[in-house]
Amino acid sequence: MTLPVSKASASAETILLAENDIVGRQSEPRQDSYSLGRERASPSVFRRFLRGAVHFLAYNFILKRGGTRTMSAAGFHLALRPTVFHPKLFLTSEFFADFIAKLDLSGKRVADVGTGSGILALAAARAGARQVIALDINPAAAEATTGNARANGFGERVSAVCSNLMSALPAGPLFDVIVSNPPFFPGEPRDIADRAWCAGPGYRDIALLFEQARQRLTPTGRMYVLFSSDSDLYLLGRLIAKAGFRARRIADRSILIEALIIYELRPE
Ligand SMILES: C[S@@+](CC[C@H](N)C(=O)[O-])C[C@H]1O[C@@H](n2cnc3c(N)ncnc32)[C@H](O)[C@@H]1O
């Protein structure tokens, strides 16, 4: 498939993963049709402080660090340019890559929105995807993904595009599966590196993600998206419902300060 994208570059029925219960205390979830599940009303002061400290350390010592770094993550050799999200130090990337490895993507067309190093796009190609388009607003991420795809033997099937969400692609049923590990905290990003973490007040920078994905997914397609238990799951649930998706929680992993949750979205 040739896609009319601005810059050259990169389906699945779900497997049913057993849901792991989230470990840790949960306050009363909000009960309404937009709920994404057992979300907290809002994180405690302590958790917000911890979150701030992790963000400060991650931003200053990881996201902003200069120099290209190489690493192994999820079985791929990856080179990271400055400002590109580090898939080894943050646990979301390998958790999501492991999840994708269990999908049967044989012959499917896949998009990865917010690709960073390209780790999820490569995982989709390794799971059999016929073609993967990897998109990121950070040009350094798109360039890193192109290099990482070639270095791992997936250069023919993975193409990277610098794009704000999916806006570089026309609307239409282009993809069988769309995956995304977006920035899932609603703060103002300080710079392009910080856009990996902060999605703007009220999720401004990813607000159109679900609508754009819905317009580019086949009617039987699926979207998989990862959030944190500390994300504003109520607001995200509203955006998902407004785009015409039904969400279900399909995999969890608890880590020290939060739980990582993958949702499966299917068109209504
Ligand atoms: C949490 S990182 C995930 C990177 C990679 N998918 C992974 O799992 O390691 C989020 C990524 O989304 C990108 N991003 C943020 N806002 C975006 C937007 N509006 N359009 C496209 N990409 C965006 C960031 O640049 C960053 O690479």
Domain that holds residue 155: 45-267
* Ligand 1 atom with the shortest distance to the CA of 92: 8
CA distance linking residue 148 with residue 125, whole number of Å? 12
What contacts 76, CB < 8 A, 6 or more positions away? 119, 122, 123, 148, 152
19 alpha carbon – ligand 1 mean position (Å)? 25
**Is residue 38 in a domain?**
no
pLDDT for position 203 = 96
In a domain, 22, yes or no: no
Establish if 25 belongs to a structural domain: no
- pLDDT-derived band at 34 (thresholds 50, 70, 90) equals low
Q: What is the mean pLDDT of residues 87-91?
A: 88
CA of 28 to the centre of ligand 1 (A): 31
Q: How confident is the model at residue 23 (pLDDT cuts 50, 70, 90)?
A: very low
Closest residue (by CA) to atom 4 of ligand 1? 116
The residue contributing the CA closest to ligand 1 atom 24 is 196
- Please check whether residue 85 lies inside any domain of the structure: yes
CB-CB contact of 36 with 236 (8 Å): yes
Interval 160-212: pLDDT, tens: 999 999 999 999 999 999 999 999 888 999 999 999 999 999 999 999 999 99
Domain count, the chain: 1
In a domain, 7, yes or no: no
Residue among 89, 135, 143, 195 whose CB has most ligand 1 atoms within 8 A, to mutate: 195
Q: Is residue 12 part of a domain?
A: no
pLDDT at 33 over 70: no
Give me the DSSP letters along the chain: -----SS-----PPP-PPPPPPPS---PPP-STT--SS--SS--HHHHHHHHHHHHHHIIIIIT--S-EEEEETTEEEEE-TTS--TTTSHHHHHHHHHHHTS--TT-EEEEES-TTSHHHHHHHHTT-SEEEEEESSHHHHHHHHHHHHHTT-TTTEEEEE-STTTTS-SSS-EEEEEE----B-S--SSTGGGGTB--GGGGGGTTHHHHHHHHEEEEEEEEEEEETTS-HHHHHHHHHHTTEEEEEEEEEE-SS-EEEEEEEEE-
121-140 per-position pLDDT tens digit: 999 999 999 999 999 999 99
Q: What is the pLDDT of residue 89?
A: 84
Whose Cα sits closest to atom 27 in ligand 1?
116
Query: Which of 83, 95, 137, 169 to mutate for ligand 1's pocket (most ligand atoms within 8 Å of CB)?
Result: 137
Q: What is the mean pLDDT of residues 79-87?
A: 93
Mean pLDDT within 1-8: 38
Which atom of ligand 1 is nearest the CA belonging to 165?
A: 20
CA of 176 to the centre of ligand 1 (A): 20
Protein residue with its CA nearest to atom 6 in ligand 1 = 115
pLDDT digits (tens, 9 = 90+) for 207-261: 999 999 999 999 999 999 999 998 999 999 999 999 999 999 999 999 877 899 9
Please give all residues whose beta carbon lies within 6 A of any atom in ligand 1, as ranges: 85, 87, 92-93, 96, 114-117, 119-120, 135-138, 141, 164-165, 181-183, 195-196, 205-206
Tokens 């009960």 appear where? Answer: 31
In angstroms, the CA 59 to CA 90 distance is: 12
Residue nearest to atom 11 of ligand 1 (CA): 114
Q: Is residue 11 scored above 70 in pLDDT?
A: no
Q: How many Å lie between the centroid of ligand 1 and the Cα of residue 146?
A: 15
Mutation probe of ligand 1 site: the residue of 80, 85, 162, 188 with most atoms within 8 A of C-beta: 85
CATH number for the domain that contains residue 188 = 3.40.50.150
Is residue 32 domain-resident?
A: no
- State which of 136, 179, 211 you would mutate to test the pocket of ligand 1, scoring each by most atoms of that ligand within 8 A of its C-beta: 136
225 lies in a domain? yes
- Give tens-digit pLDDT for 37-69: 755 556 677 777 777 777 777 777 776 667 888
